[in-house]
Structure 1
Amino acid sequence: MSRKQFVHPYIPNSEPGIKREMLDAIGMKSVEGIYKEIPDRLRFKGRMDLPDPIISECSLQRHVEGLLAKNRNAKDNICFLGGGTWNHYVPAVVETIMERDEFLTCYVGEAYTDHGKFQTLFESSSMIGDLTGFEACCTPTYDWANAIAIACRMAKRTTGREEILVAGNMAPDRLSVVKNYCKPEMKVVKVAYHKETGMMDMTDLKSKLSDRVACVYFENPIYLGALEEQVADIVKAAHGAGALAMVGVDPTSLGVLEAPGAYGADYAVGDLQPLGLHMMYGGGVGGFIATKDEKEFLGEYPALLFGICKTQKEGEYGFGEVYYERTSYASREKGKDFIGTTTALHGMAAAVYMALMGPQGFQELGEGILQRVEYAKAGLAKIKGIKIPLKGYSYCDFMVDFNGTGKTVKEINKALLEHRILGGKDISGEFPEYGQSALYSVTEVHTQEDLHALFDALKKICA
């Protein structure tokens, strides 16, 4: 009796008969024919040091869940991490719709068989436009940093200038992406900020504005945990020098903060993560870019735009791609810029979240977060050795100064784990001028009991 050939349960088309049909269709005797172009010297001949595969799905699930159980997560612990992704509540219906087969399995959300994806992305872009005060918004980019970088290159093409001024108080990881994405054609220059307030130094900004500057980028709320109170002045200064103005925003803050379009900004960028996406290591993000509905801006988007269009049936309208010929999808190497794998699925999730919230929901969310943050700041400031260095209001994130405790943020965070609390993001390496300081995030999920648990734990740790 011949030995049966193993059919792998997780590898499609591994059944011998199907595999043979596929190879016959392309005229090859074996899979080796596909790889014959790879030189022998580049081929690994040994056996990789990996454990044997777990073929049983039940056993595999138990094994993976055992590995995941070693992690400290935001669900089973009180989480105060922020600074880029935040612990917001995700309504159950968001996941229910996002996990529908016709949405979940489609690469970058494309409409190979459109079961509402075009409309969902159109609605998502429209609601981002409502929040930011703009008319146009592209399909999601990879993340917030990628959105800034793409918009910087858009600004370069619009203005013909090659220098970008960025607020020195922006998130360092975002800045790193922007520099990498813009080089070597563009120069990225940091603008100073005031250590006492976290806000941009207007004198330094004005000294660096010139006819070489394409765009000025700043964030509100500021990464360091304050609100930028000079938004209109920054935009005015940029426009006075013939440059464009770009604002990085947390979209959930726009229920209580002024929309960038309302104070004259040209671009709004940010992340979709707060709009119905769980915190995930290396995931759960998706950037957006919003602008005016004018050709000088629309023509420079490298990503897809969705709009309403006429159909073959008189009086009927559908949802389709707008100004498609400007993209590299249409013109390939002649495209003005390129876009890779995007996060359209997360844009669809954001559409569900925003539709559920509505204007009143965003206002209530923002007001609740502002109140919780101020309560947290007041309680922390009463603990010996702890200070809140930046004055004024904060949204979600705020800085906590531990220099007076004699302990490092790393030590404090390790001790907080014993109380089942995930402490704030350590920024002592990112902004050493603030010493042992951390970014704490408080959102609508935090109760009064959560905050008092933090206060009590820190009193014991810092005693």
Structure 2
Amino acid sequence: MNRPFVHPYIPNTAPDVRAEMLDTVGAASVEDFYADVPADLRLGRDLDLPEPLVAEQDLARHVSGLLARNVPTTERLSFLGQGTYHHHVPAVVDEVIGRSEFLTAYAGEPYEDHGRFQALWQYQSLMGELLSMDVVNVPTYDGFQATATGLAMAGRITGRRRVLVASDVLPAKLSKVRDYVRVHLDLEFVDPVEGTADVAAIVARLGDDVAAIWVETPSRTGAVEHRLQALADAAHAVGAILVVGTDPVGYGVLTPPAEQGADIVCGDIQSLGLHQWYGGAHGGFIAVHDDPRFVMEMPSRLFGLATTDVPGEVGFGDVAYDRTSFAHREEGKEWVGTAAALWGIAAGVHLALMGPQGMRELGEVLLARTAYAQRALGAIPGIRLTDRAVHLREFAIDVAGAGLTASGIVTALRAEGIEPGVPAGEHELVVCVTETTSQADIDRLAAAVTGLVAASAAEAASTLDPIAEPEEHRA
């Protein structure tokens, strides 16, 4: 008699368990859950999984072997960025978030230790100061979700559908945002000029059906938007909202978007005391002014400070809880589940350690290192910078003039222990530097790319030049 296979690690492979789960949610089969996934994206077969290892020591050995294939960027010279960055994480950050009262991904509940609430309130306060905003949420799952939520808020506030996208957006982020808002919003793209927004083109496409202008600064290639105020004025003139997706790491030295007319500022806190960790610890922030129209559209948790019945004592707890999906359940405006609250505490510790002066110095170093790397690589024959904007941390180079491809550079330099950047096309390479990248590191990258350019030129010359005839054959 053939019995159905039940995997020892996957309980829902047991037929009775699976049947009970499907019956509970009213689904006929597991396929019902994937109805929205196009057929060409489905595997169409069972996963090719190894036989289960039932002995713990065998399983541990197998998993250790898999993990050993990973090579952390701390062991290579890395110029990788594009959403997950190698910034220095002070040891104290890991020490604090490893404490038992904090070590959970959840935000905590009223019956738990209120120290977690206080830590997250302090994180919100520090982020508010950095961003020049009044209200900042407990972190959402990641910056992609936070940006999608910011745009959805703009749609709900204005009752409109059109969103003008003014910047180059990280492809993975754009994919997540588009999937999140596609039922409610229509994204229209206005090509940037020299890395930043084409204000005139955006103004020409504005109308009373536009919900928001969406700007990313730094953009996909690290360009810093310098005309936020003009974009804010144009949006407000037609009753639209300016939503700015950003990375908070530079606002010790850059002017925060809120001081340039931004209504909703959102992004990821990975750069504030969180490791890369093979894809990163990520948490999303949404920041708004103290305006009930905006605050009451924020679906995520907010922690506030309140007095208690005991003179001189204060407490920390949820603010405007009745606006959340926790209160409204299926009637909520937007569902927010697990928050990345632990990473909020990590970012709060990091900001408290850095202080205003530390964040200012960090921003200055990032701008200086980026500019130095741009000069070093842009001076190589055949290599050019893709725009003339001010860049923070990342920038793109075009290598077509050197007879190279971006993927070819990655393959060649990876053999030398260098991760030179992320290909963004056949000839475009996005290079990232942080405060952990030294001048010597940048010089090493420039020298390695120069060597590839020279080798490419020599190969081209040997192909084009005629072979010299022996002297005795000459007339």
TM-score (norm 2): 0.84
Matches within 5 A, 1:391-402: 391-402=388-399
Residue 138 of structure 1 aligns to which amino acid in structure 2?
N
Structure 1 residue 71: Cα displacement: 2.4
Q: What are the Cα deviations for residues 50-75 of structure 1, in whole angstroms up to 9, with x where unaligned?
A: 33426345x65554343223223211
Residue 176 of structure 1 aligns to which amino acid in structure 2?
S
Look up the match of 1:343.
340
Look up the match of 1:446.
437
- 1:317–1:455 Cα change, 3 Å: same
- Quick check: 199-208 or 436-445, which moved more? 199-208
Look up the match of 1:123.
122
Structure 1 residue 48: Cα displacement: 8.5
Q: Give the match's secondary structure for 1:289.
A: strand
Structure 1 residue 83: Cα displacement: 1.6
Q: Give the match's secondary structure for 1:315.
A: coil
Structure 1 residue 381: Cα displacement: 1.8
Task: Say whether residues 1:355 and 2:352 are aligned partners.
Answer: yes
Gaps of 5+ in 1: 1-7, 12-30, 429-434
Q: What are the Cα deviations for residues 348-368 of structure 1, in whole angstroms up to 9, with x where unaligned?
A: 111111111110000000111
- 1:281–1:174 Cα change, 3 Å: same
Partner Cα distance (2:165, 2:21) in 1 = 45
Look up the match of 2:461.
none
- 1:61–1:324 Cα change, 3 Å: same
Structure 1 residue 76: Cα displacement: 0.1
Q: Give the match's secondary structure for 1:102.
A: coil
Q: Give the match's secondary structure for 2:188.
A: strand
Residue 329 of structure 1 aligns to which amino acid in structure 2?
F
Partner Cα distance (2:29, 2:240) in 1 = 50
Structure 1 residue 374: Cα displacement: 1.3
Q: What are the Cα deviations for residues 116-167 of structure 1, in whole angstroms up to 9, with x where unaligned?
A: 1111111111111111110101111122221111111111221222221112
Matches within 5 A, 1:104-253: 104-105=103-104, 107-110=106-109, 112-114=111-113, 116-194=115-193, 197-253=194-250
Q: Give the match's secondary structure for 1:37.
A: helix
Look up the match of 2:470.
none
Contact 1:109 1:345 in 2 (8 A): no
Q: Give the match's secondary structure for 1:461.
A: helix
Counterpart of 1:403 (choices 400, 404, 407) is 400
Partner Cα distance (1:39, 1:203) in 2 = 54
Residue 137 of structure 1 aligns to which amino acid in structure 2?
V
Structure 1 residue 108: Cα displacement: 4.5
Look up the match of 2:467.
none
Residue 125 of structure 1 aligns to which amino acid in structure 2?
Q
- 1:36–1:441 Cα change, 3 Å: closer
TM-score (norm 1): 0.86
Matches within 5 A, 1:26-65: 37=20, 49-53=49-53, 55-56=55-56, 60-65=59-64
Q: Give the match's secondary structure for 1:142.
A: coil
Look up the match of 2:363.
366
- 1:77–1:61 Cα change, 3 Å: farther
Partner Cα distance (1:39, 1:370) in 2 = 54
Contact 2:155 2:184 in 1 (8 A): no
Look up the match of 2:428.
437
Structure 1 residue 372: Cα displacement: 1.0
Task: Say whether residues 1:291 and 2:285 are aligned partners.
Answer: no
- 1:461–1:309 Cα change, 3 Å: same
Look up the match of 1:422.
419
Q: Give the match's secondary structure for 1:246.
A: strand
Partner Cα distance (2:54, 2:449) in 1 = 44
Contact 1:226 1:395 in 2 (8 A): yes
Structure 1 residue 314: Cα displacement: 3.2
Partner Cα distance (1:307, 1:178) in 2 = 29
Contact 1:218 1:248 in 2 (8 A): yes
Task: Say whether residues 1:462 and 2:453 are aligned partners.
Answer: yes
Partner Cα distance (1:269, 1:335) in 2 = 21
Contact 2:308 2:314 in 1 (8 A): yes
Look up the match of 1:254.
251
Structure 1 residue 457: Cα displacement: 1.5
Cα RMSD over matched residues?
2.5
Structure 1 residue 37: Cα displacement: 3.2
Look up the match of 2:314.
317
Partner Cα distance (1:422, 1:253) in 2 = 24
Q: What are the Cα deviations for residues 69-117 of structure 1, in whole angstroms up to 9, with x where unaligned?
A: 3223211001101121111111111111112222223534445522511
Look up the match of 1:301.
298
Partner Cα distance (2:102, 2:55) in 1 = 29
Residue 443 of structure 1 aligns to which amino acid in structure 2?
T
Gaps of 5+ in 2: 1-7, 31-45, 455-475
How many aligned positions are there? 426
Partner Cα distance (1:417, 1:327) in 2 = 47
Q: Give the match's secondary structure for 2:197.
A: coil
Look up the match of 1:19.
none
Contact 2:80 2:422 in 1 (8 A): yes
Partner Cα distance (2:59, 2:93) in 1 = 28
Task: Say whether residues 1:267 and 2:267 are aligned partners.
Answer: no
- 1:274–1:47 Cα change, 3 Å: closer
Residue 131 of structure 1 aligns to which amino acid in structure 2?
L
- Quick check: 322-331 or 400-409, which moved more? 400-409
Partner Cα distance (1:450, 1:99) in 2 = 32
Partner Cα distance (1:191, 1:47) in 2 = 41
Task: Say whether residues 1:69 and 2:68 are aligned partners.
Answer: yes
Identity %: 41
Partner Cα distance (1:385, 1:62) in 2 = 48
Partner Cα distance (2:111, 2:73) in 1 = 36
Structure 1 residue 222: Cα displacement: 2.0
Contact 2:306 2:316 in 1 (8 A): yes
Q: What are the Cα deviations for residues 166-209 of structure 1, in whole angstroms up to 9, with x where unaligned?
A: 12412222222222111222212112211xx1111112101111
Q: Give the match's secondary structure for 1:149.
A: helix
Structure 1 residue 319: Cα displacement: 0.7
Contact 2:166 2:214 in 1 (8 A): yes
